[in-house]
Each structure stands twice: as structure tokens, then as C-alpha cells.
A and B are shown apart, each in its own frame.
Chain A
Amino acid sequence: MSQRQVLQVFEQYQKARTQFVQTVAELATRPQNIETLQNAGVLSLLRPLLLDVVPTIQQTSALALGRLANYNDDLAEAVVKGDILPQLVYSLAEQNRFYKKAAAFVLRAVAKHSPQLAQSIVDCGAVDMLVICLEDFDPGVKEAAAWALGCVARHNAELSQAVVDAGAVPLLVLCIQEPEIALKRIAASALSDLSKHSPELAQTVVDAGAIAHLAQMILNPDAKLKRQVLSALSQIAKHSVDLAEMVVEAEIFPVVLTCLKDPDEYVKKNSATLIREIARHTPELSQLIVNAGGVAAVIDCIGNCKGNVRLPGIMMLGYVAAHSENLAMAVIISKGVPQLAICLSEEAEDHIKAAAAWSLGQIGRHTPEHARAVAVANVLPKLLSLYMDTESSEDLQVKAKKALKNILQKCTHLPALEPLLHDAPPNILKHVVGQFSKVLPHDSKARRLFVTSGGLKKIQEISADPGSPLQEYINTINNCYPEEIVRYYSPGYSQTLLERVDHYQPVLS
């Protein structure tokens, strides 16, 4: 045998290996193949190939593993159990950039499934290696590492703390400043995941100077980057007043409002969320948003979109209105109430309706003027029907009732209250009648109108327990009218009149 023949054997073997890993990697892209691959014991076959002498094979086998682990958490767990992670982590420091990328992909695919799997990633020391990869020259490697770190940090505060302790934050902040859009995007998303768990973590991110860079990128034309940036800012701002103020101080204000007009739905949603998280903390911050015209922009945004994208905007209006009556008035004059009324009737999902009901309650609860503005938009019957509807969720019913009560206790706009007299249940009726009993003694025109519109008749038909507040209110109303009128409208009065006719003896001359 010649030397050539000997070498040919090796060549064939290498070709076969290459073809095997490439085929497996390609098969792993289709979900229907995964189970077959798993049953064929693909993991144990791929594991030795991770240590192959040929870099291409190593890289491709890592890629195949990543795709398998990406598919579901059973496979990810199998990857963890198969002791593959230490090999990956070991070689993460050694190999070329393609291998690093593939290895980071595997780590990401494992970490994304559950906190336990992410914890196992942390336990095998991968986080430190990933942080080292963040310092790599190649943007692709950085991107993969940042993504993996984000997936680890996403689950809970301890895992985020582990990532922060490994020193990832300053490097991620550096990654945001890189020119590559994809890297920026992933780094911003990782920062968002890091800072969402606790104020301390958010403070760490802020201390690394992330806010200024994030705020600069709000104007970036790339929609996906904008999404992540806005999400990161809102995750930072949500924890405390100080953090929210720091976010505001980065002069995001007129700029964020343009994002509310973005064609991308998620950009809209995230920017509304950011505004909501800032408005939530103090009246001063809300005031600042109102002064910047944020309320009008949010209201327009609510009008332009549908479904879940509306939710943060709706809640933002509620938070702003809850702080003080002036702010609630600002929401009213920004034409927020009609928009919320539209949301209340248009939206199909209960939680959005509940949010709209809550916001309306917050707007209407301050003064009679506020309540009037809400009542004029014809919201009360809608709220009542939501409260009475048996198909509404419990939360929606509670919110609708609370809102109704808040508004009714301040409402003196009688025309809006009248329809409620006819179809409200006793616990709501109490408030409605109470409002009538407060207004009628002082307003003669309203008294007249109340009789002609049939309200008095309705009042007489209410059967209240003697001594209950409802009965007291009814008595107060009855005292505003002459005896005969009250008796005339009492049920059964015609009967008594007829009886009197029967018993009457005509005087014959």
C-alpha cells in the first residue's frame, strides 16, 4: 500500500464527519426532524465531534447542538446533562471567532428555556467566558455573547446579579456604542433584561453610563433597535423616582413622542410604556410629561392603534390623572376621555377594558367638573353594562364598579345620571340617588326636569329598606316636592283614586 492510500482513508473519514455534522445541522432546522434525531442519540454523537481536530467540524457540531437545544427545554436539559457545557466553555476562550459564535449560540439556546438551565450555565462558569467574548474584536462574537448574557439575565434577579458580578455591564455599554446595528440592538436588549429585576441592578446599569447612550439612539431609524432601546429605558425607569428622573434628565422628552408615531407597533408600545413608567412615580414627572405635550401624543397614539399596543397608553393616562386634579384636567382638555370611551367600547379583551375603566375612574374622581367631563362622554352606561355583564372577568367587574363609584360620587350632571336610575343594581343605585338627593334641593330647574323625565316616578318605585342610606336619600328627594306630586307618582295611586270614585256619594240636589 502506498502512502497515498493510507492518507485516503483519513480523508474519507474526515469527509464523512464533515458531511455528518452538516447534515445534522441542516436537519435540526426543521422541527419535525428533532424527535427522530433525539431518538437516534444525536447528542452523544455530536459531543465527541465538539473536540474534533478540524475546526469546521467543531463549529458545525456546536451549531447543530445549538439548534437542537433551541428547540425545546428537554433537549436543552439533555445538553446540560451530557456535560457538554464545560467543553464549550473551555473552548470558548481558545478557538476562532466562528467557533465562539457557535458556542455562544449553544449557551444562549440552553439558557433561554428556564431559570434552572440558565443557572446551570452560570454554574459552569460560562458567564465569565462570555464576558471575555464581549471584549472580542469581532462584532459577531460580541453580538452572540451579549445575546447569551441577555438570555441568562432574563430569568430572575440572582441570575442578573451573576451577570452583573461578572462585569458585563460596562462592556455591554461599550457594545451599544459600536457602529453595528445588530450588536447595538442585542446589547440594548441585554441591558433591558439586566435592569428589569431590581432597582439595584438598574442602578448598576445607570452607573455604567448607559442612559446617555440609550437616549441618543431613540432617534435611530432602525425600528428594532428603537424597540430595544425604549424597552431598556422603561425597564430602568420603572424602579424608582430617582432612576426615572435620571432617564428624564437625558432629555428624552420631545424625542420619545416621535416614536409614538412610528409605523412599528412595538416601538409605539415600548415608547408608551416608557412614558407610563416615568409618569407613574410622582406628580412632578407627570406634570413634566403633560407640559411636553406627551398626553396629547399618547392619546393620538391610542387612537391610531389597536389591541395590546394601546394598553400602556391607557394606563399612562390613568396614572397621570390619578396624581392631581390639575393633571386630570389636562388629560380632559387633551381630549383623552372620548378616546378612552372608544377603547372601552371597541376593545375585545377584558384587561384592556379594565385598564380603560380604571383610567376613566381616575380621571373622574376629583371634582364635579371632572366627573361631568367623563359623564358627558356617555361612559357611565357603558361602565354599568360592563359591570353587569356576566361574561366580564372578575377584575373588569371590580374595576368598572370602582370607576363607576368614583365618578358617581362626584357627578352632578343629572342628565347623564338619569339613565342609570332605570337599570342600575341597588349598590350602584345608592350612589345615583344620593347624587340626586344632593343636587335637587338646591336647583329648581333640575327638580322640574326630574319630574318631567320620569325620574321621580322611578324613585317612588324603588323599594328600599327603611333606615338604609338609600331610603334616606329617597326621603330627601321626596321632601323637595309637594305632597300631592309625590303621591301622584307613587305606584298604585290610580287604584286609590278609582276607589275614591267608587266610594263617592254624589250630592244630588
Chain B
Amino acid sequence: MATLERLRKEMSDLIPEFFRQCRAADENRLAEYNAAVVIQSWFRGSRVRAHLRHLNRMVNVIQKWWRGYLARKYFRNKVKTAYFIMKMNFYNDMAVRIQKMWRGYYVRKYVHNYYALKKYLEGVAIKNSLVRKELEEYATMREKEKLKQDLEKEERRKNYEARKMHYLLSTEQVAGVFNSPYRQYPDEMEFRLQRARPLSHRDLPKKSNDSDGFVDWSDCRHPFSFPTTSLLPPINKKKPQGPFRDVGEVLQQRYKPLEPTLKVATSFTSVEEAREEIKRQEWAKGFQDVMFAPFASFHKNKPYEPLIHTSTEYKRIPYGNQNFRVEEATKWVTKKRASAFG
């Protein structure tokens, strides 16, 4: 109650105070309001900024992680490829090394074998020396043969000479040309003359006259020459007795070549012989002795083959094969006369 009392007592003071206070409040209201706004705006701004800062920090973190992740991924890839390349290079190197060794080995062993080459060249050298030796032998052999032939030819020539000059042979009384009395030994020719048979007149080579006046001059190797005169008849020492004909004439008569007439020259049985000969020839050429029977008269039975133009269905009647009045009723167009006859 005391309080109430005290309040009542103070009432009078209180009411003006109240009014004063209310007025003061009204007077300051706007300023306070503005101040409140400022305070609130600052506070709110701070809070939003703090939030944004927070957000930024979060974003940074996220980005950091993401970028780190990407970079690591990229790096891992990079390392992988680098490693791969390194590996490949290494492998290639090693492959080259292996191939090098192998190829070297292979070529040395099979393609360019040094020892084989050496051996081959030695073989060639040996072969060469063999060939040289053989050829040398061949050449010397040829030379010897040639020499021998020449010697033989010379010998033959000398012998012929000796035969020709046989009259130079020395006799018991008179020494020959080759047997000079002033020499110790006679000449070699002397012995040759002794051995030789004198050349007889009959051995003279006869002129071959088989070509009947045709002489072969077409190869220009021999110069052309006119026919020489025939040999003169031998000279007789003494004249024969009696009224003989001229010697040349007689000889000519004697040595005249035989010139038979055709009738004489031909054999009497030549016709028969020729027939026999033809028969024999035919027999020799033929494959069979017996004629092949079925075809013996083949050519006779050959049918006549008409030309293509003329071989129509309606043939011409062969001219005069039977008679001129033959009729073929089957070929008539109308049956009138056929029925009339039939």
C-alpha cells in the first residue's frame, strides 16, 4: 500500500514527466529509427558478406579439389603416354638390336658367306688353272698335229719330186747329180731316188671331162681358162713300114669315146625292167600288200551331190535319166488326174 501511497503522492510529478517523456520520445523517434536502420543494415550486410565469404571459401575448396583432380588425371595420362613411348622406344631399340644381330648372322651365314666366297674364289682359281693347262695341252697337241701334217706333206712332195726326177739316179758307171764324187756321202735325194718308183706316162692325171662342156666357174675362186689342146701322140722313133694311115688318126679312132645310138645304149629288156622296178617301188612304198577291199570301189559308189541352190524340195527331173515322159504323180498339186489314173 505504501507503494500505492507513494505513487499517489508522486502522481502529480509523474504525469508531466510522462508527457515530457512521451514528447521526447516522439521527438527522437525518427533519428532513432534511422539509427536503427543503419545499425540493421550494417549488421545484415556483415552477415551477408560473411556468408558470401563463406561461400567463396567453399567454392575455392571445391575448385581446388576439382582442378587438382583434373590435373592429376591429365598428369597420369601424360605419364602413361610418356612411359609408353619410352617403353616403345626401348623395345624398338631392342628389336633393332635383335634384328641387326640376326640379319648380320643370316647374311654372313647364307647370303654373303665370307668363307664360302673365299672357297668359291679358290675353286675358280683352281678351275682356271685347270682350264689353262688343258687349253695349253690342246694347243700344243694341235701344233704337233699341224707340224706332223706339214712334215708328211713335205715328205710326199719330195717323194713325188723323186719319182719325177728318177732319171737323175746314178748308175754303176756314171754318178748322178745328187751323187757327187767330190763328197763323202751322196745327197739325201739320191737315196730317195733309189727308193722311188719312176713316174710312168700312163699315170698322168686325165682331165675330168664328165660335165659335157659345162665347167663350174661360178665360184670365182679359179680363174677361167680356155680348154687346152689335147695331148700330142707319142713320137715314134722309126717310121713303120707299109701304107699306114696317119698315126694321130688311128689313135683318135682307137681312143674315141664310145658313142652308141640310143637304141644300142638301151637295154633290150628295159621295158620289162622298168615295169618290174615300178612294181618293186610300189611294193616298197605301200604299207600293205593286200588292197583294202571295202574301199576298193569306193569312188565308184559316190552319190551325186547337187549344189545347194539347186537342191530344192521340188527337184528338177534329171535330164534324160530314164525317159522324157516319166511323171511323178505324188508331186502334182491337184489330185484330179491322180484320182483319174488311180
Cα distance, A333 to B117, chains bound together (Å): 12
**When A261-B135, A261-B138, A297-B135 are in contact, do A330 and B121 touch as well, CB less than 8 Å?**
yes
Cα distance, A263 to B220, chains bound together (Å): 26
A293 CB contact (under 8 Å) in B127, B215, B216, B224: B127
Closest B residue to A106 using CB positions: B218
B121 CB contact (under 8 Å) in A96, A140, A262, A329: A329
CB distance from A17 to the nearest CB of B (A): 14
Closest B residue to A332 using CB positions: B121
Enumerate B154-182 residues with CB–CB distance to A below 8 Å.
none
Cα distance, A102 to B224, chains bound together (Å): 14
Chain A interface size range:
35 or more
Q: Is A314 an interface residue (CB 8 A)?
A: no
Determine whether the beta carbon of B218 is less than 8 Å from that of A295. no
CB distance from B326 to the nearest CB of A (A): 56
Q: Is A38 an interface residue (CB 8 A)?
A: no
**Interface class of chain B by DSSP:** helix
B128 CB contact (under 8 Å) in A22, A56, A98, A293: A293
Chain A contacts for B213, CB-based, 8 A: 56
A296 CB contact (under 8 Å) in B131, B142, B214, B223: B131
Q: Is A211 an interface residue (CB 8 A)?
A: no
Determine whether the beta carbon of B135 is less than 8 Å from that of A291. no
Chain A contacts for B127, CB-based, 8 A: 291-293, 296
Cα distance, A59 to B113, chains bound together (Å): 72
CB distance from B37 to the nearest CB of A (A): 91
Q: Is B125 an interface residue (CB 8 A)?
A: yes
Cα distance, A140 to B129, chains bound together (Å): 45
Residues 131-144 of B, flagged 1 when their CB comes within 8 A of A and 0 if not, give 11001001100100
Determine whether the beta carbon of B218 is less than 8 Å from that of A296. no
Closest B residue to A300 using CB positions: B132
Chain A contacts to B: CB under 8 angstroms: 22, 25-26, 29, 55-56, 59-60, 63, 66-67, 70, 96, 98, 101-102, 104-105, 140, 144, 257-258, 260-263, 290-297, 300, 326, 329-330, 333-334
A to B CB contacts below 8 Å, 15 in the list: A29-B223, A70-B220, A101-B218, A104-B218, A105-B218, A105-B219, A140-B216, A144-B219, A258-B138, A261-B142, A297-B131, A326-B120, A329-B121, A333-B125, A334-B124
List 16 additional contacts besides A59-B214, A140-B218, A144-B219; criterion CB under 8 Å.
A26-B225, A29-B224, A96-B214, A98-B216, A101-B216, A101-B218, A104-B218, A261-B139, A290-B124, A291-B127, A292-B127, A293-B127, A296-B131, A296-B132, A333-B128, A334-B125
Chain B contacts to A: CB under 8 angstroms: 117, 120-121, 124-125, 127-132, 135, 138-139, 142, 146, 211, 213-220, 223-226
